[in-house]
Amino acid sequence: MNRIALRSYIVVFFALLLLGGFTFFLVEYAAQADDWVTSGGSPHVYTGGNIGTGVVVDREDVLLLDMTDGRTYSSSESVRKTSVHWVGDRYGSVNAPALPNYAAELVGFDILTGTYKYGNNGGVAKLTLSAQVQSAALKAMGDHKGTVAVYNYKTGELLCGVSTPGFDPDNVPKTGLEEGGKNEGMYVNRFTQSVYIPGSIFKIVTLAAALESIPDIQEQKFTCKGEYMIGDQKITCEDKHWNQSLKMAFRNSCNCAFAQIAQQLGGETLNRFVEQFGITKSVQFDGITTAKGNYDVEGAMEWDVAWSSVGQYRDQINPCAFLTFMGAIAGDGKGVTPYLVGEVSCGNNVTYTAKTETRGRIMSASTAKILREYLAFNVEDKYGSQNFPGLTVGGKTGTAEVGGGKKPNALFTGIVEDEQYPLAFIVVVEDGGYGAKVSLPIAAKVLQACKEALD
């Protein structure tokens, strides 16, 4: 009798063990099934390392990529060139993680019936990009290398994100010295993965730090005689601005004035505000993690801190991170994270809808308001409002010395304050020269294209 009871206990034990294992599997399946199915190499989802099902369109339903049977790109060469950094090429040379990030939603995974495709076509991913604006940006950039980006600072929608040189995935060019280096770096998305010396656009950061921490900064006057001595080191300026207010010093992009501001702030305070503003942090959206910037004046000499305050020394910014900083200025001190994928649908079912993600307050509303006033004054009094017809634009140019015998990088960043066009933008032109001469006209053309697209 005892032997029978022992056997019964053993059977019950293994039955409970089996039941526990089955229950554990069901729980794991419910929680992880879509990750398992859409993991890299899944034959139901990927072909040759690329996501292999579905259709990708822009915000106006213009075709960017059809993966129904292989990879068929847009019929427009300019659209192909400007979207390849976001949708990827045929050979996996471009790191384009956004579509794989929504693989489960795109293939239409169902937890009961498994992977399926409506009409064997997969789903439709609708991006926030405008093919019209992208093409305008590519044309405006010409043969320059760099990036142009515009996003809606209220919603986070990325209307434009062009990286040049781009390339045609239907006609991949050679790279390197055999082409004179013109296609070098064509696989890199410069908007998300590159960092740049910012030059004078960094004065926006220094100005914001001063407004936040020096109570009488707007009442102060700053003298510029074309150079300013700190110890035995000379901070140089392109002109002699003499006595000027803070607003005029920003308008004049006066290095001497900002060196004096940096002395009042000190390196520790500047470091703290760079961290608070998120200037050097990665931005994460749609499976994308941007490159980190750099700002480090710990142990630096006083004149090095001064140069850092005008965007030189060891400063580096990622264009996407700086764009979100500008968006926070437009948003009364609170920013939103950009996003690329607006919606994914399978058949009649919407499987994903983007939501606006607030990044939280990085500066006071009063500081943001003053910054907007100063940026608008730059355009009205220096750059010319006539360059932006129908738009209320504020901005700051930058000319960043990169050394090595190269021409400076040319930058321009800013915001549009119209209710109908809540846009923040950044333009970076490598080896471009002066920001006002090179990057400003590019921004003007792209913002007009944005206005037309939104109209």
Q: How far is CA 412 from CA 73, 359, 379, in A?
A: 31, 23, 11
pLDDT at 119: 42
C-alpha 103/C-alpha 116 separation (Å) is 12
pLDDT over 50 at 29, yes or no: no
Tokens of residue 446, six digits = 């792209």
* pLDDT tens profile 44-67: 555 545 666 789 999 999 999 999
The position carrying tokens 């190269």 is 406
pLDDT at 427: 98
Residue among 123, 268, 275 at smallest CA distance from 205: 275
Mean pLDDT of 214-242: 96
Residue among 36, 190, 171, 22 at smallest CA distance from 107: 36
Residue among 19, 310, 335, 400 at smallest CA distance from 151: 335
Q: Any idea which of 85-94, 114-123, 182-191, 424-433 has the lowest mean pLDDT?
A: 114-123
340 and 86 in contact (C-beta within 8 Å)?
Answer: yes
pLDDT over 60 at 34, yes or no: no
Q: Residue 426 CA to chain centroid, in angstroms?
A: 9
Burial of residue 180 (CB within 10 Å: 0-12, 13-18, 19+) is exposed
Q: Any idea which of 168-182, 260-274, 277-291, 376-390 has the lowest mean pLDDT?
A: 168-182
pLDDT at 50: 61
pLDDT over 70 at 23, yes or no: no
* Buried b / exposed e along 50-83 (16+ C-beta atoms within 10 A): bbbbbbbbbbeebbbbbbeeebebbebebbbbbb
| Torsion over CA: 174, 177, 181, 182 (sign) | negative
* pLDDT tens profile 146-162: 999 999 999 999 999 99
Percent of the chain having pLDDT more than 70? 86
Task: Give pTM, 2 decimals.
Answer: 0.90
pLDDT over 60 at 291, yes or no: yes
Tokens of residue 61, six digits = 């339903």
pLDDT at 21: 66
> Which residues, other chains included, contact 176 with Cβ-Cβ below 8 Å and sequence gap of 6+?
183, 184
**Region of residue 47 (phi > 0: left; psi between -120 and 50: alpha; otherwise: beta):** beta
pLDDT at 49: 53
Mean pLDDT of 297-301: 94
* pLDDT tens profile 260-280: 999 999 999 999 999 999 999
State the average pLDDT for the chain.
90
The position carrying tokens 């939103």 is 336
pLDDT at 436: 86
pLDDT at 348: 85
Residue among 321, 241, 222, 239 at smallest CA distance from 274: 321
pLDDT over 50 at 36, yes or no: no
**CA neighbours within 13 Å on the CB side: how many for 66?**
11
- Binning pLDDT at 50, 70 and 90, where does residue 174 land? confident
β-pairing, 124-127 vs 55-57, is parallel
